[in-house]
Structure 1
Amino acid sequence: MPYEHRLEAIFTRVSIRRFKPDPVPEDVIKVILEAGNAAPSAGNLQARDFIVVRDENTKLKLAKAALKQMFIAEAPVVIVVCANYPRSMRVYGERGRLYAEQDATAAIENILLAAHMLGLGAVWVGAFDEVEVMEILGIPDYARPMAIVPIGYPAEKPKRRERYPIEYLTHWEKW
């Protein structure tokens, strides 16, 4: 593909589940968060919130709430991305719930790419007990945790997984 080199970050990012214990500097975390919030959002309402977790005990609780995916506790930093429903619903009504979730998930992808481009590893964790995560982090009822994203310096180099051929997934003009 002649353009692949321009999209290197997209084509080389992989999910990282093993991390070195080295801390991630606060200024790097802030840039990753800014990259997350640079993602598109419906009406530019940015209906997403970020919870940065570095406390060992809290990370352990999150790992247990995420079906005992203990690698979460081993990451130096964890970002939980939440959809903020009222921020979007005030303009879009009930449809704003979907838009807030889309805003949050677009931010998650930007966070993953930013971490990768900064030499860090991360993974999108969607398997968790939402109620438990909300209790652990004090998330209000009007928001919803969409992903737990552990981030750190990679302690592994997994091979990129195969993808379906684009022809298999693409429909032109109609399904």
Structure 2
Amino acid sequence: MDLCEAILNRRSIRKYKDKEIDENIINKIIEAGIWAPSAGNLQSWEVVVVKDHLTKDKLAVACYIREFIAESAVVLVICAHKRNSEATYGERGSELYSIQDAACAAQNMLLMIHDLGLGACWNGSFDEDSVSDLLGIPEGIRPVAIITVGYPDEKPIPPPRKEIEEFIHNEKY
């Protein structure tokens, strides 16, 4: 798939077919994240792969009752490894670079998911403590995105976008 086509046509999918995803495909998605840019090439992010139905049900509750989370084939919980970045970059590494690293990895994964003919939805709205407790995420590692993955059972229309001029500031804000 052409990169421009992937960027323009990827959509957030919230309705999935009841079909499992092969482990090799999941690994290919995560590998796309590994190739994302990161501060100092520290790659200060990790992912928790959730397939268990009961755990997905509990994640849906931690995400403020978003049922599609429980209905997806796989949930990828992308975590920032704050301590890893902090060791090299101090507080800025912990509070910013690690989150940027996780976000870059997540975007690569979203594009790979689309390229593979799967659907996904990025979720940032969740109770962080509940997710950490549920998945046993240790101190210093912060869940920053929850990505549902599955075979799409919908084709959403493109949402409106702002014009390019609304984003650009030349030399000064």
The TM-score normalised by the length of structure 2 is 0.97
Report the residue type matching 1:33 in the other structure.
I
Aligned residues: 171
* Secondary structure of residue in 2 paired with 1:174: coil
Alignment-derived partner of residue 144 in structure 2: 146
- Deviation, 1:6, is 4.9
- Alignment of 1:48 onto 2:48: no
- Deviation, 1:167, is 0.7
Alignment-derived partner of residue 125 in structure 2: 127
Report the residue type matching 1:115 in the other structure.
I
Q: CA 1:6–1:72 in 2, change beyond 3 Å: closer, same or farther?
A: closer
- Alignment of 1:73 onto 2:70: yes
Alignment-derived partner of residue 27 in structure 1: 24
Alignment-derived partner of residue 90 in structure 2: 93
What is the aligned-residue identity percentage? Answer: 51
Per-residue displacement from partner, 1:59-98 (whole Å, max 9, x unpaired)? 0000000000010000010000000011111111111111
Mapped to 1, the partners of 2:59 and 2:114 lie a distance apart of: 23
Mapped to 2, the partners of 1:100 and 1:133 lie a distance apart of: 18
* Secondary structure of residue in 1 paired with 2:145: strand
Q: CA 1:34–1:6 in 2, change beyond 3 Å: closer, same or farther?
A: closer
Alignment-derived partner of residue 172 in structure 1: 170
Mapped to 2, the partners of 1:86 and 1:169 lie a distance apart of: 33
Report the residue type matching 2:52 in the other structure.
D
Per-residue displacement from partner, 1:13-42 (whole Å, max 9, x unpaired)? 010000001101100000000001211000
| Aligned alpha-carbon RMSD (Å) | 0.8
Q: What residue ranges of structure 1 are gaps of 5+ in the alignment?
A: none
Alignment-derived partner of residue 13 in structure 2: 16
Alignment-derived partner of residue 156 in structure 2: 158
Mapped to 1, the partners of 2:3 and 2:49 lie a distance apart of: 31
Q: CA 1:6–1:107 in 2, change beyond 3 Å: closer, same or farther?
A: closer
- Alignment of 1:118 onto 2:116: yes
Report the residue type matching 1:132 in the other structure.
S
* Secondary structure of residue in 2 paired with 1:39: coil
Alignment partner of 1:106 out of 104, 107, 112: 104
Q: What residue ranges of structure 2 are gaps of 5+ in the alignment?
A: none
Mapped to 2, the partners of 1:114 and 1:120 lie a distance apart of: 9
Alignment-derived partner of residue 61 in structure 1: 58
- Deviation, 1:141, is 1.3
